[in-house]
Structure 1
């Protein structure tokens, strides 16, 4: 009898947890920025403590690459994103947004991989990730020079894919 009550209680808690997750997901979904919407203006800190505000880069395309150090696809695409960042430096602002991880985790990632990147910024509380509807990693959001979201790519990207997506956005 005790076992049956325990199973019923556990099942009830599980169902309640699913409902709470669903309701919270609906609430966040209403605030989510999608393709064609004005970008969500954020201010995030980089590895050295410098603050970056998205609106400061209006007038040039911006690539937001959402990333986690433990994510193998993120690690696999890091060299591609580094190559893109180097090639398009000055024409496109690239932010590698570290999702809910410490600076120390990124430091260990850099030590392990050698992937230095001056654009790591930290979304410690996942607020920016939620506003852009990012639920996994890697995900890449492309914003045009007017601050409008023009693409949201789920999964790994290559240098060529990102370059093709932003080539029409770069002012000559």
Structure 2
């Protein structure tokens, strides 16, 4: 065998080995299960820092303080509401996945939360529900904000919420501005945000 032929055979063998390794890598990738999607409503949905120079209206003097509760998000992490309203206003959306009026309004509320993402923190508070049904609801309605699971209803009671839906608006600093037993549609809530908190 000539040296030139030996070099060609070696090069061909290397090229074949590369093709086989590449094919094996591709098939291995197909066998690897995809990473599970993050749990909707968990810590990954928390807002980042408030933008510098965020212009907000001052809370009216004499407004009562909102209950500064701490709860557990859908992924098991802890959220203190006071940590959120230290930087920006907070909208609390009390809901359950089985609540018809909640479902009818949720898509528009989700869109409103995206519109005001930097200036206002939305937080869902769910009770009397299963984790599976909550996840289905959050994904179906593109809820991209954090959701507190209030299994014993203590947070609902602290805000005097008897049944879903309900919405509460808290100013930056924790003043309780407005509540809507029975919920509120997104257009009316948007108008109230612009009137009460957004300068």
Query: TM-score, structure 1 length as denominator?
Result: 0.72
- Does 57-66 or 122-131 show the bigger shift? 57-66
Alignment of 1:73-152 (within 5 A): 73-110=101-138, 113-152=140-179
Query: Per-residue deviation at 1:166?
Result: 1.6
- Does 153-162 or 67-76 show the bigger shift? 153-162
* Counterpart in the other structure of 2:186: 159
SS at match of 2:178: strand
Query: Per-residue deviation at 1:70?
Result: 0.3
* Counterpart in the other structure of 2:74: 47
- Structure 1: distance between partners of 2:178 and 2:141: 29
How big is each residue's C-alpha offset from its partner over 1:111-167, in whole Å with a ceiling of 9 and x where there is no partner?
6x3434332221111001001000011000111112111101022322221111122
Query: Per-residue deviation at 1:169?
Result: 4.2
Query: Per-residue deviation at 1:171?
Result: 5.4
Contact in 2 for aligned 1:61/1:166 (Cα 8 Å): no
Contact in 1 for aligned 2:106/2:141 (Cα 8 Å): no
Unaligned runs of 5+ in 1: 1-34
- Structure 2: distance between partners of 1:153 and 1:102: 25
- Structure 2: distance between partners of 1:171 and 1:164: 10
Query: Per-residue deviation at 1:105?
Result: 2.0
Query: TM-score, structure 2 length as denominator?
Result: 0.63
Q: Which has the larger radius of gyration?
A: 2
Contact in 1 for aligned 2:94/2:166 (Cα 8 Å): yes
* Counterpart in the other structure of 2:34: none
How big is each residue's C-alpha offset from its partner over 1:91-125, in whole Å with a ceiling of 9 and x where there is no partner?
001111112323222123346x3434332221111
Query: Is it true that 1:69 corresponds to 2:97 in the alignment?
Result: yes
Equivalent pairs, count: 137
| Structure 1 segments of 4+ aligned residues over 6 angstroms from their partners | none
